């Protein structure tokens, strides 16, 4: 891998990007690199022609100029790892992704991802997707800390066949989550406007839609069903009917029932800390060459059972 030379970059802060720190802007809005890499990858940072500190708050109309060192290009390298394969044929591989595994390489995660493991398991994938850069065969994604069912393709025809079903929303994904508190009713539908948070570009937000009035962002829809509930928490099944980033986590927070262990949209309470209690439980999809949809199920993780036992003992 070769390191490319430094280059000059310039950004003008818009009205929706103001009132954040300079380092946050460069990392989370301009997406140059992570905040921990800014000092090593940038030099001569100036705002409106004057040298600026990374802690400076920027305003709308500010012009940011800097010299930036491009990171070395990422390379896909097969890495042997234990894959929890739920199903495999000549066109697809269905995996039960463990919590903590990133789906594909990117900034901060150059290796050790599901893609690296898939390349070692099936060399055909890399040969078939020579022009797909860092996401060969990836049909959809799960957050790093979300476990469960994910389907991948072995060749471009299978990728398009599966991806089209996601675009047309003919697939059905069902998640289970442990959330704080009790939901307003046993079953329900959450429909909101959905948009990126103005103050933190890594987060998303939602708002009620008023009939007849324009709204910001896109529509997001989630169906829920309570499986069990206790005094301090609930086990719910969640079915997203749109595929917005962090949708389930944001929607649960919007009804004051954040997912337990959510480091972004929830709150840790008490001495015992939990990881994210969100699991892609079932996926219903039609496979290449078949007429009927199949349902793939990932067993409920042990981390869920521990929290459920704790809730049950508290009754």
Question: Which residues are designated catalytic?
Answer: 143
**Is 139 in contact with 151 (CB distance < 8 Å)?**
yes
**Is 6 in contact with 66 (CB distance < 8 Å)?**
no
HEC readout, the chain: CCCCCEEEEEEECCHHHCCCEHHHHHHHHCCCCCHHHHHHHEEEEEECCEECCCCCECCCCCEEEEEEECCCCCCCCCCCCCCCEEEECCCEEEEEECCCCCCCCECCECCCCHHHHHHHHCHHHHHHCCCCCCCCCECCCCCCCCEEEEEEECCHHHHHHHHHHHHCCCCEEEEEEEEECCCCCCEEEEEEEEEECCCCCCCEEEECCCCCCCCCCEEEEEEEEEEEECCCEEEEEEEECCCCCCHHHHHHHHCCCCECCCCCCCCCCCCCCCCCCEEEEEEEEECCCCCCEEEEECCCCHHHHHHHHHHHHCC
**In angstroms, what CA-CA distances link 203 with 133, 174, 196, 309?**
26, 23, 6, 31
Burial of 39 (0-12, 13-18, 19+ CB in 10 A): exposed
Residue 233: strand pairing partners: 180
């Amino acid at each position: 891998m070769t390191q490319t030379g430094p280059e000059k970059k310039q950004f003008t802060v818009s009205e929706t990007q103001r009132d954040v720190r300079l380092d946050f802007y460069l990392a989370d809005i301009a997406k140059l690199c992570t905040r921990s890499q800014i000092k090593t990858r940038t030099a001569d940072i100036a705002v409106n022609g004057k040298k600026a500190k990374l802690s400076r708050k920027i305003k709308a109309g500010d012009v940011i100029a800097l010299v930036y060192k491009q990171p070395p290009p990422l390379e896909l390298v097969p890495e042997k790892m234990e894959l929890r394969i739920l199903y495999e044929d000549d066109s697809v591989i269905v995996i039960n992704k463990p919590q903590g595994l990133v789906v594909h390489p990117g900034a901060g995660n150059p290796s050790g991802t599901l893609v690296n493991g898939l390349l070692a398991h099936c060399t055909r994938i890399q040969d078939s997707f020579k022009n797909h850069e860092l996401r060969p065969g990836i049909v959809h994604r799960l957050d790093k800390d979300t476990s469960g069912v994910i389907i991948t393709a072995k060749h471009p025809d299978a990728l398009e066949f599966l991806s089209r079903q996601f675009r047309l929303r003919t697939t059905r994904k069902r998640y289970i989550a442990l959330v704080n508190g009790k939901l307003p009713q046993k079953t329900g539908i959450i429909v909101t406007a959905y948009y990126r948070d103005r103050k933190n570009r890594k987060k998303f937000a939602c708002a009620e839609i008023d009939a007849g009035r324009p709204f910001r962002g896109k529509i997001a829809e989630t169906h829920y069903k309570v499986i069990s509930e206790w005094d301090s928490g609930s086990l719910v099944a969640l079915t997203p009917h749109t595929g917005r980033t962090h949708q389930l986590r944001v929607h649960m927070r919007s009804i004051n029932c954040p997912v337990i262990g959510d480091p972004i949209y929830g709150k840790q309470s008490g001495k015992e800390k939990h990881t994210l209690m969100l699991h892609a439980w079932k996926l219903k999809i039609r496979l290449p060459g078949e007429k009927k949809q199949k349902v793939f199920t990932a067993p409920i993780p042990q981390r869920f059972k521990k929290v459920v036992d704790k809730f049950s003992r508290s009754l």
